Amino acid sequence: MRLFVAVPLPQEIKDSIATLRGGIPDARWIAAENAHVTLAFIGEVQAPEMSDICLALGRIKHPEFELAIESVGIFGSNKRPRILWAGVHRDKSLMLLHKKIVTAIESVGARVDDRQFRPHITLARIHKSPYERVRNYLSDHALFKTKTIPVTSFSLFSSHLSSTSAIYEEEMTFDLTPLPVA
């Protein structure tokens, strides 16, 4: 099974993200209910390895924090954009949680995708869309922003590919350490 670790998003944020759908021909839009912030992509693993990963992730100690979602952008070149995304502010606490997760997964011998971590929410996959339309979309949505959201946990997800899209299933949730009440 294919696994990844992510911050699930509250319905209110998914609803905001849903308003960004459309306006680019030939884009394959990700269903709003699948919106999340990937912290680590693991890929294919067998069941025993998944158990080891769960145990390692369960040992992570990290305080709760807030996440800011702002702007839109692309991965790929200007002439050949591949992924359209909503940006996630590179908060120091988010970046540290990412490192702890990667270290935990690698400590049990599993491998993590080694691309540079760029926190984002994937909105669509773009293949043959005219760049003019993509550029206009980016300009039209440049000021997109949601309210900050509390991150109180992260989850291990499995991903099952279907003929139309990926189906994500939350396998296990890991709580973060609550902040002291002032």
pLDDT along the chain (182 residues), means of 10: 95 94 90 93 92 96 96 88 94 96 96 92 90 92 94 96 82 92 68
Q: What is the pLDDT of residue 25?
A: 87
Contact 133, 23 (CB under 8 A): yes
pTM: 0.92
Catalytic site residues? 36, 120
Domain 2-175 fold is: Cyclic Phosphodiesterase; Chain: A, (3.90.1140)
Burial of 23 from C-beta contacts in 10 A (0-12 / 13-18 / 19+): middle
Contact 77, 108 (CB under 8 A): no
In angstroms, the CA 51 to CA 120 distance is 27
In angstroms, the CA 116 to CA 64 distance is 23
Q: What is the pLDDT of residue 182?
A: 65
